[in-house]
Amino acid sequence: MHIPDGYLSPETCGVMGAAMVPVWTTAGRRVRSRLGSQLVPHLALGAAFSFLVMMFNIPIPDGTTAHGVAATLVAVLLGPWAAVVSVSTALVIQAVFFGDGGVLALGANCWNMAFVGPFVGYGVYRLVAGRQALDAPRRALAAGVGGYVGLNVAALFAAVEFGLQPTLFTAKDGTPLYAPFHLSQTVPAMALAHLTVAGLVEFVLTFGVVRYLQRANPALLRVNPVNDPGAGPAAPDRPGWRTPALVLLGLAALTPLGLLAPGGAFGEDSPNDLDLRHYGLRSVPVGLNRWSGFWSHAVLNGYGFHNGDHPVVAYLLSAFIGLLAIAALVAAVRFLVAGRSRKAEPAVR
């Protein structure tokens, strides 16, 4: 999954690197507050561990061996933010010192393997493990499932990054300038490899290590206090809401920029705008014709007012209404989940 230099455009690498800057900054702040003066040695040794675990050969059913990424494993053992720093450090050393993965593509590789992988894997782990005891087999299974899902989602991101290249970066004669395969090819190819082999390797590695530590040295699992629900309530490790809220509001304020873009969005043409010859069609398909007009009661149809006046105001209004709707939905889900958790907890006498 290590993307070498040359597969992604410099623009993609720049965007992915820029996307990683706030992740690294937040990770640095969070681990500093948790580890204090132990910060550097623990993260450095975490990175060294992460680097070496990636070198382990794991037997797979066809009689050969494969390597794991171990991002979820590091997240389970050290916490997700420490995993961001440790896995990123391991990836930098691999890229610069051993040429495994690109230097320019470091942002993309870190996004996939040091951010998406550990966070998704850790989320699945927490969800499946619930409040099981430290030595419960379900906790080890949860770690394995987290590793499997985390790696597959990271692979999906890599596939999307590859698959966007021929759509966005081609020469005038249509020659793809970077990775040549489209999304319809990269996503199934990566999914096949990771759902069958690489994901299972990650499952085996993550499950095996957590199960071993449960039996041989459970104290090591307590390095991440969240793993031990019996040790009392762990300090909440929730991100603050102010910065994301400000970023979202800033993005909403920038939405009218979409009006400057020429042409329409990919795959969003109305039936009348379709280039039928391009798709080898003689007429608009019956189903498309019927269902494209199925819902015509939108409040701000096409992100604009019905009479088409004040497009910038309509765009801004659409963005803020959309944000409010999503916030209301998230609040409702949170309220429901919190209600379930309260019922599940035994009453304190």
Partner 1 sequence: MSTTKSTPSWLLDTQIGLCPCGCIGTRKKVNLIDQTIEGVSGFVRRALGTDELANSDGVLQRLDPRTKVVVTMVGLVVVALLRHVPLLIVVAVTGALLAAATRLPVGRFVRRAWFVTPLFAAMVSVPAVFNVVTHGHVVVPLGHPFGHRFGITGQGLRTAALLTTRVAASATVVLLLVQTTSWPRVLAALRSLRVPTLFVQILGMAHRYIFQLVTAVEDMFLARRSRQVNHAIDARSGRMLVGATAGALFGKAQSMADEVTLAMTARGDRGTPRALSSGPLPRRDIAVIIGAIVLMASMLWLDRALGR
Q: Which is nearer to partner 1, 23 or 319 (CB)?
A: 23
Q: Interface with partner 1 includes 213 (CB under 8 A)? A: yes
**Minimum distance between the CB of residue 293 and partner 1, rounded to whole angstroms?**
32
Q: Interface with partner 1 includes 143 (CB under 8 A)? A: no
The burial of 336, by beta-carbon neighbours within 10 Å (0-12 exposed, 13-18 middle, 19 or more buried), is given as: exposed
Looking at the DSSP assignment, which residues form a beta bridge with residue 170? Answer: 176
Give the sign of the dihedral formed by CA 129, CA 77, CA 115, CA 97: negative
**Minimum distance between the CB of residue 61 and partner 1, rounded to whole angstroms?**
7
* Whole-angstrom distance, CA of residue 206 vs CA of residue 76: 9
> Scanning the structure block, which residue is given the tokens 């966070």?
119
- Name which of residues 149 to 188 contact partner 1 (CB under 8 A): 166, 171-182, 185
Q: List alpha helices for the chain, DSSP H.
A: 10-35, 39-53, 71-78, 80-98, 106-109, 117-129, 137-168, 183-193, 199-216, 242-253, 286-292, 311-344
Query: How many amino acids of this chain bind partner 1 (CB under 8 A)?
Result: 77
Instruction: Determine which residue in the list 17, 19, 26, 93 makes contact with partner 1, applying CB under 8 A.
Output: 93
Terminal CA-CA length for the chain: 52
Q: Interface with partner 1 includes 90 (CB under 8 A)? A: yes
Residue 258: CA count within 13 A, CB half-sphere:
19
- Name which of residues 23 to 42 contact partner 1 (CB under 8 A): 24, 28, 36-42
**Minimum distance between the CB of residue 188 and partner 1, rounded to whole angstroms?**
13
Instruction: Determine which residue in the list 1, 13, 20, 69 makes contact with partner 1, applying CB under 8 A.
Output: 13
Instruction: Determine which residue in the list 65, 243, 301, 341 makes contact with partner 1, applying CB under 8 A.
Output: 65
Residue 151: CA count within 13 A, CB half-sphere:
32
* Whole-angstrom distance, CA of residue 327 vs CA of residue 248: 11
Span of 217-225, 267-275, 284-292, 325-333 interacting with partner 1 by CB under 8 A: 217-225
Q: Interface with partner 1 includes 135 (CB under 8 A)? A: no
Instruction: Determine which residue in the list 1, 20, 23, 51 makes contact with partner 1, applying CB under 8 A.
Output: 51
Span of 214-222, 270-278, 290-298, 325-333 interacting with partner 1 by CB under 8 A: 214-222
Q: Which is nearer to partner 1, 48 or 323 (CB)?
A: 48
